[in-house]
């Protein structure tokens, strides 16, 4: 009998595929924008998760699993930092995001040297990337309020993507910290997993909303 955890996990694994397919169908509407590479990131996310679950099932603490996720962190966060740097119009905001991107890369290099990409998860890199991404999204929201985009935000793909990302990382950062440094295989840990899987589902539902409601930006 499936548990709630199984249902939530299976749901977001299905959402990965649905959102990726929709992103390809809708590509003509945003292929002229920096978001044109979003389907690649969605595909990498989907493949990374499926590979991660497969490796976790066949054996525990496989070095390849750490390599897959650590490499994904670098690609995933760098992509979204680039997107928000391109999409904000305020020069000071662009400069702040550039500095934040450099800080993130320094965290990655630090983990690469002192942790080892095959040895363990780059948790510090992940938390730094998530925190910086939240900062970038806030700058993007301020930028929207200062422009005419606020009038058509409902049909803007990046707005819905940013809402999904913001809600996920705001909720998941404390979970990541607890899972990494205070792990105990008890009922509380299962509750954290339920919240985590729910956050992923919510994020991808916002992505899906963005693709369904989006209109071509002129």
pTM: 0.92
Domain ranges of the chain: 4-213
Taking CA atoms, 156 is separated from 2, 45, 173, 217, in Å, by 37, 22, 26, 8
Domain covering 4-213 in this structure, CATH number = 1.20.1070
What's the rounded Cα separation, in Å, for the pair 60 and 39? 30
Alpha helices in the chain (DSSP H): 4-25, 27-30, 38-58, 63-87, 91-114, 123-145, 157-181, 187-213
Taking CA atoms, 44 is separated from 4, 213, 216, in Å, by 26, 24, 25
pLDDT for the residue numbered 55: 67
For the chain, the first-to-last Cα distance in angstroms comes to: 50
What are the mean pLDDT values of the chain's consecutive 10-residue runs (218 residues total)? 79 94 96 94 93 66 79 96 93 95 97 91 96 97 84 87 98 91 74 92 97 79
3-class DSSP assignment, residue 119: coil
CB atoms within 10 A of CB 20: 21
pLDDT for the residue numbered 135: 97
pLDDT for the residue numbered 152: 76
What's the rounded Cα separation, in Å, for the pair 77 and 169? 12
pLDDT for the residue numbered 182: 78
Residue 159 CA to its chain's centroid (Å): 14
pLDDT for the residue numbered 208: 97
Closest C-alpha to 41, from 67, 87, 76: 76
Closest C-alpha to 210, from 161, 150, 152: 161
């Amino acid at each position: 009998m499936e548990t709630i955890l199984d249902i939530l996990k299976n749901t977001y694994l299905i959402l990965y595929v649905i959102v990726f397919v929709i992103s390809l169908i809708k590509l003509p509407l945003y292929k002229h924008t920096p978001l044109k590479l979003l389907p690649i990131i969605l595909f990498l996310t989907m493949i990374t998760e499926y590979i991660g679950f497969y490796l976790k099932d066949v054996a525990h603490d496989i070095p390849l699993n750490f390599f897959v996720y650590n490499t994904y962190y670098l690609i995933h966060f760098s992509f979204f930092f680039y997107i928000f740097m391109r999409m904000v119009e305020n020069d000071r905001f662009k400069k702040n995001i550039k500095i934040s991107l450099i800080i993130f890369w320094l965290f990655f290099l630090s983990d690469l040297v002192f942790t080892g990409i095959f040895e363990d998860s780059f948790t510090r890199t992940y938390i730094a990337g998530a925190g910086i991404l939240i900062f970038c999204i806030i700058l993007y929201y301020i930028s929207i309020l200062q422009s005419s985009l606020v009038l058509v935000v409902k049909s803007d793909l990046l707005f819905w993507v940013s809402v999904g990302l913001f809600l996920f990382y705001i909720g998941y950062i404390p979970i990541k910290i607890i899972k990494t440094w205070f792990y105990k295989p008890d009922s509380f840990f299962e509750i954290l997993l339920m919240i985590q899987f729910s956050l992923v589902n919510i994020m991808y539902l916002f992505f899906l909303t963005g693709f369904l409601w989006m209109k071509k930006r002129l």
